[in-house]
Structure 1
Amino acid sequence: MKTVEIKNRDMYWHIAADIHYPPGFVESRKYPAIISAHPIGSCKEQTSGNVYGEALAKEGFVVIAFDASFQGASGGEPRFIEDPTLRVEDFRHVADYLVTLPYVDEDRIGVLGICGGGGYAISAAMTERRIKAVGTIVGANYGRLMRGNFSGLNPIGLLEKVAAQRTAEARGAEWHVDDLLPPSVDAAKKAGLTDIDVLEATDYYRTPRGQKPHGRNRSLLSHQAAAISWDAFHLAEVLLTQPLMVVVGDKPGAFGSYRDGCEIIERAASKEKELVVAEGWSHYDLYDHPEPVGLALKKLIPFFEKHLAATAKVPLAAE
């Protein structure tokens, strides 16, 4: 693995990324590549990199797991901005970087997104035609979440809070950063939180199971408005034509990835699309638990092999 800094050509900061290489990597060969995108509030060292990135690299792909702008080890100020438009642009900058690498076949670039990264991956693929195949793991539509449970089903109320905070900051107030999760599962339960996604997210991000220094799960309040009007699936009926594989667990929770997975499979214009349901498993089980992750990879690996080898100059199996 190698850590790199990608220049954001439109702005003034870099994007930090880890490149995971296949066994026996030889720089003179051409490899298919997969862009791996982390969940909301996560980082490249968590499920997008150390689980799915490593697993797909072992199967012959060059995998690049990146930190979103304003988050993780990537640049951008102020910190903890979750702006969907900028998140989608990150994919383009990562693709720009990949096509400069001599060992990457520019005609064989795919994308894999986990949770909110899945929604961003879908949105990016609609207008980034260098992406040839799209896979998601419990992909979630962040805009829908912000209009729904993340705003307490009160998006107008949240917009009013954002407006008031921006006014305060314009007059010199400090930034207000929201913690997206409780400090512990016990604290969540004491606060009366019972939803499976909230409790399991807390278990993943707030314990050694998945905790990483850059996986902070924080959001800058004054910059949340852009997400409330955004829709990851807008124009999917017209623009999402790449082969699509959507993996979900069948234990639904408040974050809605099961519902979103069903919706995008119905709406996508893709001629080849498949919904994979990991029966008996939840959203966060698919982040790192070996059995559901194995179920997902059993479908994703041949999916990417098929669609990223189709235009290969050298067949994937021969590399």
Structure 2
Amino acid sequence: MKTVKIKHQTWDIAADIHFPPGFDESRQYPAIISAHPIGSCKEQTAGNVYGAALAREGFVVIAFDASYQGASGGEPRFIEDPTRRVEDFRVVVDYLVTLPYVDAGRIGVLGICGGGGYAINVAMTERRIKAVTSITGVNFGRLMREGFSGYDPIAALEAMATQRTAEVRGAQPRVDNFLPASVEAGKQHGITDIDVLEATEYYKTPRGQQPHGATSARYSRNAAAVGWDAFHLAEVLLTQPLLVVVGDKVGGFGAYRDGCEIIGRAASKQKELAVVAGWSHYDLYDKPEPVRQALARVVPFFKENL
């Protein structure tokens, strides 16, 4: 593995490239872009789990940090703007097609959680991407309009507008953490949703905790996400082979629901919903058995289509 910096407007994207065993720079390899979840970083599941596993199967895999997040540049920090997140993929593709050991005609994309929604969305208009896999993917725009806005998106947009005005007039930025400080704290505040509690157990303990895995977002810059939809025009523009992997232990973030929806809507002639029975959204991040079952579908899919 090596870490690289990729130029993006006036800042750099930080990325880790995972190489296959016996890597030979004089050969050409199929490549996969691996995208991290919302509020995450490349060292959490996108790189260390799925990136490393796919590299062992013969792919060059690049896991990158989103702009304004992780080790990537961009100011202000902690922006979760879907338009920017999607553009990051294009910049990474631009980088891949300059590498002599990457076959520019065999580039795929994989995303986890919100990264899965972004991967699906970018593939619609980035035709250099030839195959798409979503691992417990979530349509972040739908989630923002529902649970993340208290099912009142207009009130949330009004509050974001007020906060943005206050900040440009000199107020302290409001940076919200998506999660409680611990599982115990969440339960004490009456949280029962499996996704929130399991996310907290992943991100707030040594299991998944990383210095750049902030699980935070700048509130005043969330308005763009409220008006965005990962699946818009999928019936027309999403034609690449598509694999969607979900668990059937359903939580509030809605990956199972979103997975079923995109499989129904995608124009792809080859599309498949793989349900990993008995496992949840966050089990698919790093637990050996559900990850093994996911990879048993993902690896053949990419080998066939790349």
Mark yes or no: TM-score above 0.5: yes
Of the three residues 32, 45, 52, the one matched with 2:50 is: 52
Structure 2 letter corresponding to 1:115: C
Mapping of residues 269-284 of structure 1, within 5 Å? 269-284=267-282
Residue type at the aligned position of 1:84: P
Alpha-carbon separation, structure 1, partners of 2:168 and 2:96: 39
Correspondence for 1:67 = 65
Q: Please tell me whether residue 157 in structure 1 is matched to residue 144 in structure 2.
A: no
Runs of 4+ in structure 1 deviating by more than 4 angstroms, as ranges, are none
Equivalent of 1:82 in 60, 80, 83: 80
**1:151 and 1:293 mapped to 2: Cα distance?**
31
Measured after TM superposition, the shift of residue 7 of structure 1 is 0.4
Match of 1:24 in 2: 22
Letter in 1 for 2:296: K
User: Equivalents in 2 of 1:279, 1:239: separation in Å?
Assistant: 30
Give the gaps of 5 or more residues in structure 1.
309-319
Aligned to 1:254: 252
The corresponding residue for 1:189 is 187
Residue 126 of structure 1: how far off its partner (Å): 0.3
- Taking only the aligned residue pairs, the percentage that are identical comes to 75
Q: 2:285 aligns with which of 284, 287, 305?
A: 287
Letter in 2 for 1:109: I
> Cα deviations across residues 84-109 of structure 1 (Å, max 9, x unaligned)?
00000000000000000000000000
TM-score of the pair, normalised by structure 2: 1.00
- 1:197-231, CA deviations, whole angstroms, 9 ceiling, x for partnerless residues? 00000000000000000001000011000000100
Instruction: Using the TM superposition, give the Cα deviation of residue 174 of structure 1 relative to its aligned residue in structure 2, in angstroms.
Output: 1.2
1:137 aligns with 2:135: yes
Deviations 1:273-297 (A, max 9, x none): 0000000000000000000000000
Number of equivalences: 306
Corresponding position of 1:301: 299
1:125-161 CA-to-partner distances (Å, cap 9, x unmatched) read 0000000000010000000000000111111111011
Root-mean-square deviation (CA, aligned residues, Å) is 0.4
Deviation at 1:170, TM superposition (A): 1.7
- Determine the C-alpha separation between the residues in 2 that align with 1:133 and 1:238: 16
Q: Which residue matches 2:102?
A: 104
Letter in structure 2 aligned against 1:37? A
- Aligned mates of 1:296, 1:233 — CA distance in 2: 22
* Letter paired with 2:7: K
Alignment of 1:115-130 (within 5 A): 115-130=113-128
Cα separation, 1, equivalents of 2:169 and 2:258: 39
Which stretches in structure 2 are left out of the alignment for 5+ residues?
A: none
SS state at 1:255 partner: coil
* TM-score, reference length from structure 1: 0.96
Give the AA of the match of 1:133. A
Query: Within the alignment, does 1:171 sit opposite 2:169 as a pair?
Result: yes
Inter-partner Cα distance in structure 2 for 1:179 and 1:244:
32
* 1:74 partner amino acid: S
Amino acid at match of 1:6: I
Distance 2:90 2:102 in 1: 15
Aligned-residue offset at 1:171: 1.1
What's the secondary structure of 2:192's corresponding residue?
A: coil
2:305 alignment partner, SS class: helix
Partner Cα distance (1:171, 1:210) in 2: 37
In 2, Cα distance between the equivalents of 1:215 and 1:191? 23
Matched with 1:7 is 7
| Aligned counterparts of 1:106 and 1:167: Cα–Cα separation in 2 | 44
